[in-house]
Structure 1
Amino acid sequence: FVAKVKIDKPATWQQMFDDAWRTMKYRFYDPNMHGYDWDAMRARYQPLVEFVGDRQELLNIINEMIGELNASHTGAAPPPGGREGAVQTQHPGIEFTADEASGRYRVAHVYENGPADKDWVKVRVGDYLLAVDGRPVTARDNLWKYMHNQRLNRAMTLKLNDRPSEDGAWEARIEPVSTAQYATLRYERWVKERREMVDRLSGGRIGYLHIRAMDQTSLRKFEKELREFRNKPALIIDQRWNGGGNIEQQLLAILVQREYQIWQPRGTEPTERPFAGYFGRKIVLQNWRSASNAEMFPAGFRALGLGKTLGTTTMGAVIGTGSYSLIDGSTVRTPGVGVYLADAKRTNMENLGVKPDIEVENTPEDNLNGKDRQLEAAVAELLKELGAK
């Protein structure tokens, strides 16, 4: 049985445009549309739909129109799903650096718990990379064009040596990971380095944890690490580079607790009650990429008097958003919930940005040199508070 359907693309695109415009008109959190005449916006952009050639051009027009609102958490996007057969980079869990003297790539770092961090994989920092899957590689080559998902075998074969020659070379078979998994390996290394830095600078007196996202996985990790650091007199809560989610209530409900009893079993360490709380000095790190719920958190942290915030002003992108599906499966993000400070002015947090109590910025030079000026300042501030206690 075969059914044929003729789709009138121009009519479909016109309907999708009207639907997107209408959805924003009746779902946007601010009925005044941030002060813009939404009917006038339709009159300005609707005539362009006649000249649309494909779906992406239509979505571009819709996004131009929605952009007039100057609001975050918005935008039209095509249906989910990647292109079939698309080339995707895969990663062996190794960082390589070009060695000018030898004209080869050398191993600069092997990621802990990564695909190359196995007993049966022979690789060390300083080794030379000679070939990938049988193809010779030099430092003049774009290394990543050899590392993709188009190979016949799932495993990647690297030819390595402790010298830049074939004599004594060996092959290592590694099952590479996706870009998302590689990002997690890099993230875990970043966190570990900062925790070690805090331990070194504070003499082990200050704990450090990072909240990667405002999701349930990060909440469970936060609870676990808070218990690990409960006996330290001070704690750095780092939520830089956090794009948001919706757990700030749970985080603040934990941190706002106050010690009311101490249990002292015979022969063991005392335990403060409530057990899930943390009662030492605290400071929150934030930056320009702390967004959405990761802005509500430091704002609430300050409003509840839990401690100071340090870093740079946050993104200023705070709205509760949802999604609406168009006729072809494309979606329009529809922010329907405004977020306001509980102050006398009831300040709208959208396009505001949460200013830190202590302004410290990491410069591009700091990033290149591996220096974290914000973290150093946070340690110094907490040590000062501990000294005055």
Structure 2
Amino acid sequence: MRLVRVLMMLFVLFAMFSAMKSFAQKFDRLDQEIAETILKDVSDDVSKNYYDPTLHGLDWNSLVQKARTNIENAHDMEEAIAQIEGLLQSLHDSHTFLIPPQHGNNFDYGWRFKIFGSRTYITEVHAGSDAEKQGVHLGDEVLAINGFRVDRQSAPLLHSAMETYLPLSSVEVKLRDSQGRVRDLRLLASVTQQPAIAGLSSWAPHEMRLKAEDAWDNARAEAVELSPDLLAIRIPAFLQTGHDVDALFAKARTHKKLIIDLRGCRGGTVDSLHAYLDHIFSHEVNFGKLVERGKVTPQTIKGNAKNAFTGDLVVLVDSETASGGEIFARVVQLEQRGTVVGDRTSGLTMAAIRIPHHAGMHPFYLYGTSVTIADTVMTDGKSLEHVGVSPDQTFLPSPADLVAHRDHVLSFGASLLGVQLTPDLASKVFVREKR
């Protein structure tokens, strides 16, 4: 079954590749040498750093040689990049992947999708997009993209392929609307050229700084009082430590009840995760072990005997809660510290490092490798990778909720803590002002 899953992923990559020939650059001998250099760098990164030195029993050298042969027969750089990512996908590891040279064009599809339970729905339609013009609506069910069913297994790779590895000028989408009507649409992306240093390189330094500032601002945790007894904290990513986390929980301790919203939380740093966990336990907690290359390290937080929040706790999760967000939720469950509510999480939980590289002169390519260096095995002896966290109470929004911008999940979480919050008001709780 694992081989079938890997092959499916590779077929997705190459099927999507065939739709973007108009944006491909001519593949000459210099490009081939660059691609082979990228292949060598990333394959060496994996061989030297991957947490399992046996690479799950794969014949890595043979797979690398096969990728090298395929690169020799590639038609352009995009196809060569797909071969390299295909090699890394053979590990079936959420955190081992290629960080490719940035494409010379920016592709905005004008719509986004998300998994809810076992189904996939449109969650965003941008004004003026081709999707809007063709009548795509919030709450439409996505049945297939470019002929491939969209589910929990394929969704992460489809997102990566469309946005990073093989961006497309258009995609074929099969949708089912609220009346049960099925439509096959070809949705065009908006394609604009973005500033670059050279070739497929990165953003100019000023653009990089602005992008980093926006990302940090959007990742800041925020706290909102829902009642005199109830505070809600939304954590988009585990990045804050020290005073920032202390300040959030100083507010929490003035309330008897707390909701921590981890929906959409993609993870973050280990130090930040531990800082947040410290603030919900007043005692030391061992929550598992970190399995690294050649060693196993117990995972323990000290707790905060004086300043921990000790009241009632509800944690909200969804299909996009990943990595540190999943570990946080599972610790809450295993320690019976609170109630986890929402959807099954993504099952993307490995710990990784990112190794930068560059190659070439004209053009100059910046790229890198994300390599898994550890897996967290929880105190029940299980890893969350490819499994995720099943909530204590499953509660999913309906297509109608997406259309009406209602947040029944936060509303339900508040009701578990004795606070009445309408779904309409709940949807407005964490609307951060845009700068």
Q: 1:339 to 1:60 in 2, by over 3 A?
A: same
User: Which residue does 2:264 correspond to in 1?
Assistant: 241
CA contact (8 A) 1:30 1:338 kept: no
Q: Which moved more, 1:234-243 or 1:69-78?
A: 69-78
User: Which residue does 2:388 correspond to in 1?
Assistant: 353
Calculate the aligned-residue CA RMSD, in Å.
Answer: 3.8
Q: Post-superposition shift, 1:87?
A: 11
Quick one: distance in 2 between partners of 1:62 and 1:76? 7
User: Which residue does 2:251 correspond to in 1?
Assistant: 228
- Matched to 1:296, the amino acid is I
Q: 1:365 to 1:313 in 2, by over 3 A?
A: same
Q: How does 1:322-361 map to 2 (within 5 A)?
A: 322-328=353-359, 329-343=366-380, 346-361=381-396
Q: How does 1:124-135 map to 2 (within 5 A)?
A: none
Q: How does 1:133-172 map to 2 (within 5 A)?
A: none
Greater Rg, structure 1 or structure 2? 1
Q: Which moved more, 1:204-213 or 1:324-333?
A: 324-333
Quick one: distance in 2 between partners of 1:182 and 1:216? 15
Q: Which runs of 4+ in 1 moved over 6 A?
A: 178-188
Q: Post-superposition shift, 1:61?
A: 1.2
Structure 1 gap ranges (5+): 1-6, 89-95, 99-144, 151-177, 259-272, 385-389
Q: How does 1:24-35 map to 2 (within 5 A)?
A: 24-35=46-57
- Matched to 2:45, the amino acid is T
Q: Post-superposition shift, 1:288?
A: 0.8
- Matched to 1:306, the amino acid is R
Q: Post-superposition shift, 1:46?
A: 2.2
CA contact (8 A) 2:280 2:309 kept: yes
Q: 1:30 to 1:365 in 2, by over 3 A?
A: farther
- Matched to 1:241, the amino acid is G
User: Which residue does 1:255 correspond to in 2?
Assistant: 280
Q: Post-superposition shift, 1:54?
A: 4.9
Quick one: distance in 1 between partners of 2:47 and 2:251? 49
User: Which residue does 1:210 correspond to in 2?
Assistant: 234
Q: Secondary structure at the match of 1:243?
A: coil
User: Which residue does 1:134 correspond to in 2?
Assistant: none
Q: Post-superposition shift, 1:50?
A: 0.8
> After superposition, what is the alpha-carbon deviation per residue over 1:319-358, rounded to whole angstroms, capped at 9, x for unaligned?
1111233451421111111111122xx2122112011111
CA contact (8 A) 2:315 2:329 kept: yes
Q: Secondary structure at the match of 2:48?
A: helix
Q: 1:183 to 1:18 in 2, by over 3 A?
A: closer
CA contact (8 A) 2:218 2:236 kept: no
Q: Secondary structure at the match of 2:355?
A: strand
- Matched to 1:61, the amino acid is Q
Q: How does 1:263-302 map to 2 (within 5 A)?
A: 276-302=307-333
Q: Secondary structure at the match of 1:383?
A: coil
Q: Secondary structure at the match of 1:340?
A: strand
- Matched to 1:256, the amino acid is F
User: Which residue does 2:405 correspond to in 1?
Assistant: 370
Q: 1:186 to 1:294 in 2, by over 3 A?
A: closer
Q: Post-superposition shift, 1:97?
A: 8.5
Q: Secondary structure at the match of 2:418?
A: helix
TM-score, normalisation: structure 1 = 0.59
User: Which residue does 1:306 correspond to in 2?
Assistant: 337
Q: Relative CO higher for 1 or 2, CA cutoff 8 Å, sep ≥ 6?
A: 2
CA contact (8 A) 1:205 1:233 kept: yes
Quick one: distance in 2 between partners of 1:216 and 1:383? 30
Structure 2 gap ranges (5+): 1-28, 109-125, 129-189, 196-209, 284-303, 360-365, 420-435
Q: 1:59 and 2:81 equivalent?
A: yes
Q: Post-superposition shift, 1:9?
A: 4.4
Find 1:73's aligned residue among 95, 102, 105: 95
Quick one: distance in 2 between partners of 1:209 and 1:13? 45
Quick one: distance in 2 between partners of 1:359 and 1:21? 40
Quick one: distance in 1 between partners of 2:323 and 2:51? 15
Q: Post-superposition shift, 1:238?
A: 0.9
Q: Secondary structure at the match of 1:216?
A: coil
CA contact (8 A) 2:49 2:373 kept: yes
CA contact (8 A) 1:209 1:222 kept: no
Q: Secondary structure at the match of 1:290?
A: coil
